[in-house]
Structure 1
Amino acid sequence: MVSLEARPRTRAAGPAPAAGRKRSPYSSWFYLPAAIIYAVLFLVPTVTSFYFSLTRWSIFDSQFIGFDNYVTFFREPALVSGLWHTVVYAVLTSGLKVVLGLGLAVLLTSQIIGRGYLRSVVFFPVLVSTIGVGLTFTILMDPEEGLINESLSLLGIQGPGWLTDPGYALVSVALVDVWKGVGLATLIYIAGIVSIPQEYFEAARVDGATAWQNFRSIVLPLARPATFTVILLSLIGGLRSFDLIWAMTRGGPGFTSDVIASVIYKQYQAGFYGLSTAGNVVLFLLVTAIIFPLSRYLNSKEVDL
């Protein structure tokens, strides 16, 4: 009787790999259309912007001046304050969208009456034009005849100049931005909460867990990918914000609500094209410096779940 160790090993049936066969480049050609579009729409404009930020240019000619535009940019108080306002605006709006979006998502995934209708109401501002929202709230926040201050006066409260007081202007626009964008954050959180397996909640119910314990131990950690998505999208939108601020305050009063995008636009209007291009490059580097490492950090945390 032949032992198992003595039996010759048989190879699985199948075609033997051809020695020295080269991999066909045919499939790689499918990347070419996307690469061309990416190069035309992103790489070429980016490299061109970097070059023109080092020049004093107009439509017809340009003069290379090195880093003078960047030196001027960081010496101008209005430009530096706009850079600081951009960071404050982005952090404030993204933080409020995370908190309010999560709270609304928890409410709208519970057993409440009219849940479908309330979801539509919360998401509706996302569909409205940003310029339309800005003009509407400019009227509502009028310090003399605005509906908000008139409603506060009925309660005996003297409403501030929401868009005319330097201490309130940037915060007021940020709150309107949160009102318009919290619906998208809520939708992302709803998708994250609904995807949590029900077995976790059933096990918690058997153990007698309270609603707060369910939120803290189940919803909050398992909805972390949704939180990361909301943070990144809100930060990117906040850092690039322009249209709402321009529609409501045009950066005023003075320069108190100017962000870097509105400052860049004003420089273009004044004919300082090289300086405004340098501002665009600074904005690009700012967004990249914040979003890229934050994205890598959040993705590493998401893998550890």
Structure 2
Amino acid sequence: MRTAPILGRFRGGYVAPAVLLVAGLLYAPFLWTAYLSLTAYDGLADPEFVGLRNFTRLFDDPALLTSTRNTLIWVVGTMVLPVGLGLLVAVLSYDIKGGAWFRVPFMLPYALSGAGLGMVWSPILSHDGIANLLLGTDTAYMQEAPHNTIAMLLVWTWQQLGVNTLLFVVGLQSIPKAPIEAARLDGASGWSLFRHVIWPLMRPLTAVVVGLALVAGLKTFDIVWAMTQGGPGRNSETLAVMMYRETFVATKYGYGSAVAVLLTVVAGLASWLYLRRQVNG
């Protein structure tokens, strides 16, 4: 009878390792980054405290406007294209014979990393690449903004389409059969069946998929760095690429940390607003 109170007394000790792990891997690095954002630091000399000077300079930097614009394009694009097309492929291939084989080609690109995507698609989209050769055009896909961001977004969609399709197929498989059969008996079919029965039942999964796409769009880095390194100039830079460039290329650790703090705040606020809407909606 005394076992439960004894266990309750030590319950803090059970969660302590997990709390310490999270604090060490997440909170401590963020606090250190937040501190560096208030300093002038080149990675060699001791950090020199400068207050909010880095943030003042950041909001006066023209590159911030370009990076923010491109990041917004990525956020909207990743929430619409891979998610929407993934849902379409899942629905069209779900209830047909051989549907699993139909989905295989969409899954294969997901095995590539961001660097791999850059190696595959950069030659294709270059000025004298395969795309212009096949289409008989003379388009500089990767030279002008925002066309280069849109081109990379389409490449990202090609990679992410398969995993979103798989998630939606799992969601379709988890839907109870009874409501669908009842709707069919009432005459519902096709778009009407999907809109009024299947889609509402898939809402929890859709919220998760869209939320993952939101975070992925905000932190886009690898594919941009692999294909353009934020260029030409800095016209395809995202906030994550700007953070990397200022920190590790220009060795302005204080300024780069300010960009990192801004990106963290934006990502956290966007995620909170999205989750709040899902809970209240």
TM, length-normalised to structure 2 = 0.93
Q: Which amino acid aligns with 2:236?
A: S
Greater fraction helix = 2
Q: Structure 1, residues 16-37: CA drift from partner, whole Å, max 9, x if none?
A: x99xx78732233110110110
Q: Structure 1: any 5+ residue segments left out of the alignment?
A: 1-16
- For residues 225 and 265 of structure 1, the distance between their equivalents in structure 2, rounded to whole angstroms, comes to 35
Q: Which residue of 1 aligns with 2:255?
A: 275
Moved more, 213-222 or 160-169: 160-169
Q: Which residue of 2 aligns with 1:80?
A: 65
Q: Pick one of 147, 152, 166 that aligns with 1:187.
A: 166
Matched residue SS, 2:16:
helix
Q: Pick one of 133, 140, 143 that aligns with 1:164.
A: 143
Contact persistence 1:93–1:175 (CA under 8 A): no
Q: Which residue of 2 aligns with 1:32?
A: 16
Q: Structure 2: any 5+ residue segments left out of the alignment?
A: none
- For residues 93 and 214 of structure 1, the distance between their equivalents in structure 2, rounded to whole angstroms, comes to 27
1:17-96 mapped onto 2 (5 Å cutoff): 24-57=8-41, 58-96=43-81
Question: What is the Cα deviation at residue 210 of structure 1?
Answer: 2.3
Shift in alpha-carbon separation, 1:86–1:61, aligned structure 2, 3 A: same
Contact persistence 1:90–1:234 (CA under 8 A): yes
Q: Pick one of 271, 274, 280 that aligns with 1:291.
A: 271
Contact persistence 2:146–2:236 (CA under 8 A): no
Q: Pick one of 110, 120, 134 that aligns with 1:136.
A: 120
Q: Which residue of 1 aligns with 2:209?
A: 230
Q: Pick one of 215, 218, 238 that aligns with 1:239.
A: 218
1:203 equivalent to 2:186? Answer: no
Question: What is the Cα deviation at residue 249 of structure 1?
Answer: 1.0
Q: Which protein has the larger Cα radius of gyration, Structure 1 or Structure 2?
A: 1
Question: What is the Cα deviation at residue 234 of structure 1?
Answer: 0.6
Q: Which residue of 2 aligns with 1:14?
A: none
Q: State percent identity of aligned pairs.
A: 31
Q: Which residue of 2 aligns with 1:147?
A: 130
- For residues 45 and 197 of structure 2, the distance between their equivalents in structure 1, rounded to whole angstroms, comes to 62
Q: Structure 1, residues 256-277: CA drift from partner, whole Å, max 9, x if none?
A: 2110111122212112111001
Matched residue SS, 1:24:
helix
Q: Pick one of 76, 84, 88 that aligns with 1:103.
A: 88
Contact persistence 1:143–1:161 (CA under 8 A): yes
Shift in alpha-carbon separation, 1:283–1:167, aligned structure 2, 3 A: closer
- For residues 24 and 258 of structure 1, the distance between their equivalents in structure 2, rounded to whole angstroms, comes to 52
Q: Structure 1, residues 210-249: CA drift from partner, whole Å, max 9, x if none?
A: 2111111111111111211111101101100101001111
- For residues 59 and 38 of structure 1, the distance between their equivalents in structure 2, rounded to whole angstroms, comes to 28
Shift in alpha-carbon separation, 1:147–1:25, aligned structure 2, 3 A: same
Q: Which amino acid aligns with 1:276?
A: G
Q: Which amino acid aligns with 1:241?
A: T
Q: Pick one of 71, 96, 99 that aligns with 1:115.
A: 99
- For residues 205 and 235 of structure 1, the distance between their equivalents in structure 2, rounded to whole angstroms, comes to 35
Q: Which residue of 1 aligns with 2:192?
A: 213
Moved more, 114-123 or 265-274: 114-123
- For residues 160 and 9 of structure 2, the distance between their equivalents in structure 1, rounded to whole angstroms, comes to 45
How many matched pairs?
A: 277
Contact persistence 1:98–1:231 (CA under 8 A): yes
Deviation beyond 6 Å, 4+ runs, structure 1:
none
- For residues 280 and 286 of structure 1, the distance between their equivalents in structure 2, rounded to whole angstroms, comes to 10
Matched residue SS, 2:40:
strand
Question: What is the Cα deviation at residue 80 of structure 1?
Answer: 2.6
